[in-house]
Amino acid sequence: MMANTLVQYAKKNPVHRLIDLGGGDGTFALGLAQQLIKFQPKLKVELVDRQNHVQPETCDQFHALGCGMEIITADVFDWLAHWTGGPPGTVFIANLFLHHFHEAELCEIFWLASGQADLFAACEPRRTMTALAAAKMCGLIGCNSVTRHDAVASVRAGFADRELSEFWPAQGNWALTEQVSGWFSHLFLALRK
């Protein structure tokens, strides 16, 4: 879902820097880079997370693509507040990350990112009864107790309708989109016009 969105964007717009907020082990961003590098050969990926969980093999795969890559071990709020920005073509992504934050924290993340991004794309849990029912049944496919708990908690903390758009800063010239993506996901896009 995210790859399709970013590829469509990259076909018409420069993407020089892809910043993954809550980048985890880097495999999600690597999958995106494998798609984007075809259209943006000078792509640099930055993974921002409190802890470095990136394996050396993942770094090697980024470099094999010819993709620049940097691991930033920092709190997202501290990093965004002190980041000096980048060139045009900066895209922020968040995958299953934003639902961990309260409203005021989301406003702060969006405020800080909106001053520097050309596109902000997030894929989050969709808060629906269907998604909740599916989360409650994930034990049937062998998920452990931690995953079963987290799946339900994530859906309950997820988003619906235009909730994320309400937190995006009103100033600036932005096109905001929120939509169902797949069976259980919520896609948010903020595109600078």
Instruction: List residues bridging with 45 in a β-sheet.
Output: 18, 69
pLDDT tens for 97-114 read 999 999 999 999 999 999
Strands 17-21 and 44-49, bridge-based pairing: parallel
Cα dihedral 34, 38, 40, 42 in deg (nearest 10)? 70
3-state secondary structure labels for all residues of 11-69 = CCCCCCEEEEECCCCCHHHHHHHHHHCCCCCCCEEEEEECCCCCCHHHHHHHHHHCCEE
Strands 119-125 and 185-192: antiparallel
CATH topology of domain 2-126+160-192: Rossmann fold (3.40.50)
Q: Nearest to residue 34, comparing CAs of 56, 62, 6, 71?
A: 62
- Average pLDDT for residues 4-22, to the nearest whole number? 95
Nearest CA to 45 among 142, 114, 35, 155? 35
pLDDT at 69: 96
- Residue 88: predicted pLDDT: 84
Binned at pLDDT 50, 70 and 90, residue 12 comes out as very high
- What would the pLDDT profile of 37-75 be if each residue is shown by its tens digit? 999 988 999 999 999 999 999 999 999 999 999 999 999
Render 127-180 in DSSP notation, one character per residue: --HHHHHHHHTGGGGT--HHHHHHHHHHHHH-B-TTHHHHHS-SSS-EEEEEEE
Residue 81 predicted with pLDDT over 90:
yes
Pairwise CA distance, residues 193 & 188, whole Å: 16
pLDDT tens, position by position, 115-133: 889 999 999 999 988 888 8
pLDDT reading at 187 higher than 90: yes
Give domain limits for the chain. Answer: 2-126+160-192
In one-letter notation, the amino acid at residue 129 is M
User: Would you state the pLDDT for residue 138?
Assistant: 87
Task: Give the pLDDT confidence score for residue 30 in this predicted structure.
Answer: 98
Residue 114: its H or E element: helix 103-114
Strands 90-95, 119-125: pairing is parallel
CB atoms near residue 8 (< 10 Å) = 11
Instruction: Give residue-wise pLDDT tens across range 127-179.
Output: 988 888 888 998 899 989 988 888 898 889 899 999 999 999 988 799 999 99
Q: How far apart are CA 95 and CA 122, in angstroms?
A: 6
| pTM of the predicted structure, to 2 decimals | 0.93
